[in-house]
Amino acid sequence: MDERIVCPKCGESENLHLISSSQKIGTAIGAGVGSIAGYFGRGSGICTGAVIGARIGSIVPGAGTIAGVAVGGLAGALAGFFTGAAIGNCLGRYIDKNVVAKYKCNNCNTNFNL
């Protein structure tokens, strides 16, 4: 059973929202760490980009591999960015809801903790 959250000042229970500071911070940190890890990791992004670039660029040897590594690195960084942002967002929301638990009543503009 979910416990109903009630404003301690006015008794409102419908017009409340969670103040999400950790969620924003978690998303930003997760996106940054994820993009760095995705770019510098020896994962499939750079390797796959290099192999595909080498095959496509076999007409001009070398250039295809260089372009493939650049595209693969960018793809790895983007994949890491989105994955890290999603994980950071979920972790930050969990912290906001269960650890910090700071709410705002839109009825009387009161900030309160549970």
The ranges of the chain with pLDDT < 70 are: 1-2, 41-62, 64-65, 68-69
What pLDDT is stored for residue 14 in this prediction? 84
What pLDDT is stored for residue 56 in this prediction? 65
What pLDDT is stored for residue 50 in this prediction? 62
What pLDDT is stored for residue 1 in this prediction? 39
Each residue's pLDDT tens digit, 53-85: 666 666 666 676 677 667 777 777 787 888 888
What pLDDT is stored for residue 31 in this prediction? 86
Reading across the β-sheet that carries 110-113, which strands appear in turn?
16-18, 102-105, 110-113
The predicted model scores a pTM of: 0.64
**What are the extents of the domains in the chain?**
16-113
Output b/e per residue, 83-92; b: 16+ Cβ within 10 A: bbbebbbebb
